[in-house]
Amino acid sequence: MIWQTSRFRIDLAQPRVMGIVNVTPDSFSDGGRFFSVDGRTALAHCEQLLRDGADMLDIGGESTRPGAPPVPLAEELARVLPVVRHAVTLGVPVSVDSYKPEVMAAVLDLGADIINDIWALRQPEAAAVVAAHPSCGVCLMHMHREPQTMQAAPMEGDVVPQVLSFLEGAARELLALGVDARRIALDPGIGFGKTVAQNFSLLARQRELLAAGYPLLAGWSRKSSLAAVTGNSLASVAQLDIADRMVPSVTAAVLAVDRGARIVRVHDVKQTVQALKVWLAAAAP
């Protein structure tokens, strides 16, 4: 299976690790550790993730934690563009996590390879930006409601068929705009408007999502559902202990790959790469 992107045809015969680069002062997962006004901290983090074994980078300038306020367009551009400008020189696919069409257009002009959109291109003009590009990759994610309200009233019922139906519909809309199917990947949106039980249902039954026919990206890294089942509270950023979240996150990433995910989006790149090497050794004929 190949994921076609702006500059790269990514071979997904083996699972790929997408390293997360949060260029935000309020990320739920790292508390702004890699945010600086001039972007230099994030640039160094990009390079460290590649040394740790990341296959691609995912750069985001707006926190999507529950209740996070929207970031003004100008501020998001100021955060993201310097990092993208450097990242595209590093020889790996570069993804940008944004739902704003203006940000999408700007980063694609700089040479970014993938648009990773939590809104699945539902914002006005977002789908048009992607469709107008000759080859960029796109990841369509399922989100119930919006970041400000998604956990106030999570989904109800069996989420697996609901998520599958949504993602299939989002992909069909892109195909209708002339986007090649090989450019599309799907993300079930772990934590985005789902209960703990629903998130783990999506993991347990993840293979059902493969029926859509697209590569699956799994983003379990440092999610609160992992804390809920391991007893580690993630009540506030100030209380977060990153070390306590690493093992559950890596475990979830390996389980997701074992159930058919082809890309895992992670913070703990080095540990995830090592764990997947063990998985690959056991999976080899």
pLDDT at 32: 46
The CATH number of the domain holding residue 202 is 3.20.20.20
- List the one residue out of 190, 200, 71, 199 whose CA is nearest residue 141: 190
Q: Tens digit of pLDDT per residue, the chain (285 long)? A: 999 999 999 999 999 999 999 998 744 444 445 444 445 788 999 999 999 999 999 999 998 777 778 899 999 999 999 999 999 999 999 999 999 999 999 999 999 999 999 999 999 999 999 999 999 999 999 999 777 676 777 888 999 999 999 999 999 999 999 999 999 999 999 999 999 999 999 999 999 999 999 999 999 999 989 988 988 655 443 345 667 789 999 999 999 999 999 999 999 999 999 999 999 999 877
Q: Are 217 and 187 in contact (CB under 8 A)?
A: yes
pLDDT at 48: 96
Catalytic residue, candidates 222, 223, 245, 262:
223
223 is an active site residue? yes
pLDDT at 150: 67
Number of independent structural domains in the chain:
1
pLDDT at 77: 97
pLDDT at 100: 98
Task: Kindly list the distances between the CA atom of residue 14 and the CA atoms of 42, 105, 134, 247, 260, in Å, as whole numbers in the listed order.
Answer: 27, 30, 26, 22, 10
Tokens for 241, please give them: 């202990």
Q: Are 128 and 178 in contact (CB under 8 A)?
A: no
Neighbours of 270 (CB within 10 A): 18
pLDDT at 233: 57
Neighbours of 103 (CB within 10 A): 27
Structural domain of residue 160, as residue ranges?
A: 2-283
pLDDT at 109: 98
pLDDT at 106: 98
Catalytic residue, candidates 16, 79, 183, 265:
265
Q: Are 42 and 90 in contact (CB under 8 A)?
A: no
- Write down the pTM of the prediction: 0.92
Long-range contacts (CB closer than 8 Å, 24 or more residues apart) made by 115-122 = 115/139, 116/58, 116/60, 116/141, 116/187, 117/141, 118/64, 118/143, 118/147, 118/189, 118/192, 119/143, 120/166, 120/167, 120/170, 121/170, 121/173, 121/174, 122/170
pLDDT at 231: 80
172 is an active site residue? no
9-11 and 2-4 beta bridge pairing: antiparallel
pLDDT at 146: 78
